[in-house]
């Protein structure tokens, strides 16, 4: 509220924070379903074809008690007159499409900020593949889009993802605390109001990339000795620190659906909350199962943030 965001942006952020089961807590539970483009419709919805119908996506978010629903221009535009006033819409304005052969990995705009505003969105979201060959274009494009969104009074959410084959060495450093932390720091620089990031699983990305005579980026060894440890909460806490010490909220992604979804979702929520994070944005764990189970897993996540016994570590 002390920033340069205008009152209409603050009002839309307030809508986010005062909707759903977590209303008034300062935490967010968001349902994202843009996988029909990002991961292909068939691969995403074969487990539960009900979600080919956009209305079921919105129904899941509402019945699941979410603060907001994030999806594509097509999904949210198709049902906007019925639902835009019932739950805050977060329009994802760019995507990586998987129909080009061979597959390419670039985030491209699928519509305009004005379109998102016209369909009644409270916020726009975008992905930047930091570290990729295409990152310069994406940074410039999304910085301009976010500036216009703020002019129109919409909030902004940035998926701060890393993508570069060089980041895979002895470990997958796409989820290292030091590299994802720097991606977050770039994201808040272009004035994202909320940062979405994968939960850190390891650390030492800069150390691994600065080996065998290769010079990459800049780092300080105190990142590893004083600012973080190997504990999952500390790794996430470093991600939060790079979001202007939590002045911009960090929401971690829920990840792919698997065999232990309920336990994994609860653990991710506990780590995020104890690290000073702002919530979870979890999709596949919820929509790749019957709606009643999807609601239950979203409620499981929300229960962590409602539990006063789970505190910042």
Looking at the DSSP bridge assignments, the partners of residue 94 are 109
Residue-by-residue DSSP string for 281-297: E--HHHHSS-HHHHHHH
From 92, 168, 169, 196, active-site residue: 196
- Cα(120)–Cα(15) distance, rounded to whole angstroms? 13
Residues in contact with 235: Cβ distance below 8 Å, sequence separation at least 6, in sequence order: 177, 200, 201, 202, 203, 228, 229
Give the Cα separation of 292 and 286 in Å (integer): 9
3-class state of residue 276 by DSSP = coil
What is the separation, in whole angstroms, between the first and last Cα of the chain? 25
How many residues appear in the chain?
313
Cα torsion angle, 112, 114, 119, 121, sign: positive
Distance CA 13, CA 171 (A): 37
Note if 82 is an active site residue: no
Rounded to an integer, what distance in angstroms lies between the CA atom of residue 45 and that of residue 69? 17
Active site residues: 196
């Amino acid at each position: 509220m002390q920033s340069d965001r205008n009152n209409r942006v603050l009002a839309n952020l307030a809508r986010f924070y005062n909707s759903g089961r977590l209303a008034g807590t300062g935490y967010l539970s968001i349902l994202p379903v843009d996988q029909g483009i990002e991961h292909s419709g068939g691969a995403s919805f074969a487990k539960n074809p009900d979600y080919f119908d956009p209305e079921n996506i919105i129904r899941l978010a509402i019945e699941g008690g979410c603060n907001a629903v994030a999806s594509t221009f097509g999904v949210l535009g198709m049902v906007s007159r019925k639902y835009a006033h019932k739950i805050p819409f977060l329009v994802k304005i760019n995507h990586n499409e998987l129909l080009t052969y061979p597959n390419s990995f670039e985030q491209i705009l699928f519509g305009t900020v004005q379109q998102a505003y016209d369909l009644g969105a409270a916020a726009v979201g975008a992905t930047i593949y930091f570290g990729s060959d295409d990152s310069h274009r994406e940074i410039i494009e999304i910085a301009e889009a976010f500036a216009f969104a703020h002019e129109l009074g919409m909030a902004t959410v940035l998926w701060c993802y890393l993508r570069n084959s060089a980041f895979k060495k002895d470990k997958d450093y796409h989820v290292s605390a030091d590299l994802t932390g720097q991606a977050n720091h770039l994201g808040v620089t272009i004035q994202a109001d909320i940062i979405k990031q994968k939960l850190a699983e390891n650390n030492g990305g800069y150390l691994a990339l600065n080996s065998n005579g290769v010079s990459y980026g800049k780092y300080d060894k105190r990142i590893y000795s004083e600012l973080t440890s190997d504990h999952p909460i500390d790794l996430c806490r470093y991600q939060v620190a790079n979001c202007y010490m939590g002045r911009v909220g960090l929401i971690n992604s829920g990840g792919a659906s698997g065999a232990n979804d309920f336990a994994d979702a609860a653990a991710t929520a506990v780590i995020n909350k104890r690290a000073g994070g702002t919530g979870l944005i979890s999709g596949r764990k919820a929509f790749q199962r019957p709606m009643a189970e999807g609601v239950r897993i979203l409620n499981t996540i929300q229960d962590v943030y409602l539990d006063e016994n789970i505190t910042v570590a």
